[in-house]
Chains A and B, each alone.
Chain A
Amino acid sequence: MTDRIGEEKVEDIEIRLLLEAIYARYHYDFRSYAMASIKRRLKQARQHFEYPTFSALQEGLLHDPDMMPRLLAYLTVQVSEMFRDPTYFKALRESVVPHLRTYPSLKVWVAGCSSGEELYSLAILFREEGLEERTLFYATDINQDALKAAEAGIYSLDRIQGFTQNHRMSGGRSSLSDYYTAAYGRASFDKSLRRNVVFSDHSLVTDAVFGEMHLISCRNVLIYFDRTLQDQALKLFRDSLVRKGFLGLGSKESLRFSAYSEAFTDFVREEKIFQRRPV
């Protein structure tokens, strides 16, 4: 790392080696993740699994393949909600959808879909706007367990009230309750919402372009990357978008510090919706 504030501590050396070991043994690449957050998550994991040091955790991880999925749950945990930041979805509805209507078929990529809240939000929005039939959704994540949860589409019923309120504030034209059935404290989202969805294991770090997208929604994923990796992901997004395709980022994510800021123009500035430059 450049411009370090202080000398590298033993613990930081251990973490660097642990991330190398994870990559060498299991091909998950966290080496360019933003260090402060990954360190916090690793500390929680180390305490949970009761290892005295990160070196000890590394040894356990290298020799016990069952440890990796358990650690992955700590490293990729993502807490989202349906229609998080309702104004983002409102802006998609009002400003982006009119452009999307002009295409005979559409591809939408939810990158880093975690347990699927964002995917279902978009699927419902596209149905409400009459675009669902012509759209193929790709929902990708590196965590298999998260993908399974996304594919299941089952959420705790106590979260539904918040989801419903968000949906209404996003300009929803229907009632969220039209899309799920409630039983035993859980809400199961209708499988028809998954009709046009491909769930797939894909890493923004190590995998390549897989299609020409009209909209990529990737919110609060890049904040976990360092600047180099953010640039790499933004290049991947640029190369994955059709001319004038749309990119939605998290409300506090910025292209300002990126080498690829020139590849995109602001489309709805305050909602962090960008458009790929035509050239």
Chain B
Amino acid sequence: MSKVQPRAVVIGASAGALEALSAILPALPASFSLPIMVVVHVPPDKHSLMAELFQAKCRIAVREAEDKEPIEGGTVYFAPPDYHLLVESDACLALSTDAPVLFSRPSIDVLFESAADAYGPALIGIVLTGANQDGARGLRAVVDAGGTALVQDPANAFAGAMPEAAIDLCPDALVRPLADIAIFLQEV
């Protein structure tokens, strides 16, 4: 486990995301100082309400990511529908319309791999509920860069496939129920 002070959090969630994120994000105190980048699989043709929804529920700032936006602490950034969200090494966000990865755009792997590259050991990666394999390779990249990996306990997840795939690729990841993940973040 890394001893480096974390500087950012990335979260990936798919089927059951709304409920899972509701157990984590609104629990964060107003003093929470890290940026949190989130990819949720949403349909490409729809205007996503994720950011608006959590803005009302959270004590820290929540918004949809814009291209080349400088990353600020204490802020949750949601990937816009139909775009990949990436982290640049100069601490700003970037979007791309590159092809979907594992049928997903935004892709959890794309966010996690770019964030692992930018933050190295100072990153916390969290894979939550989902019915596909996205996020596993990304979480592996977080681990390989020396970062901290958390996975929602598949037994308690709305859909267990995604956390299971992440655990398969990252056997040393901390596997926790949602409530413990929320506490983990509050104690960072």
Name A's B-contacting residues (CB within 8 A). 1-6, 9, 12, 34-37, 39-41, 77-80, 220, 222-224, 226-227, 230, 250-254, 256-257
Say yes or no: B67 contacts A223, CB within 8 Å.
yes
Say yes or no: B69 contacts A35, CB within 8 Å.
no
Q: A220-B97, A251-B80 are in contact. List 13 more A-B contacts (CB 8 A).
A: A1-B90, A5-B119, A5-B122, A6-B118, A6-B120, A9-B117, A36-B86, A36-B94, A39-B117, A40-B110, A227-B68, A252-B65, A256-B66
Say yes or no: B119 contacts A4, CB within 8 Å.
no
Give CA–CA (A79, B7) in the complex, Å.
Answer: 33
Say yes or no: A79 contacts B97, CB within 8 Å.
yes
Say yes or no: A4 contacts B89, CB within 8 Å.
yes
Q: Does B156 contact A (CB under 8 A)?
A: no
Provided the pairs A37-B86, A40-B110 are in contact, do residues A223 and B99 lie with their beta carbons within 8 angstroms?
Answer: no
Residues in A with CB closer than 8 Å to B67 are 222-223, 252-254
Residues in A with CB closer than 8 Å to B110 are 40
Residues in B with CB closer than 8 Å to A250 are 97
Give CA–CA (A253, B91) in the complex, Å.
Answer: 18
Instruction: Report A249 CB to chain B, min CB distance, Å.
Output: 10
Residues in B with CB closer than 8 Å to A230 are 68
Say yes or no: A79 contacts B88, CB within 8 Å.
no
B50-87 interface bits toward A, Cβ cutoff 8 Å, 1 = contact, 0 = none = 00000000000000011111100000000010011011
Instruction: Report A98 CB to chain B, min CB distance, Å.
Output: 26
Say yes or no: B83 contacts A35, CB within 8 Å.
no
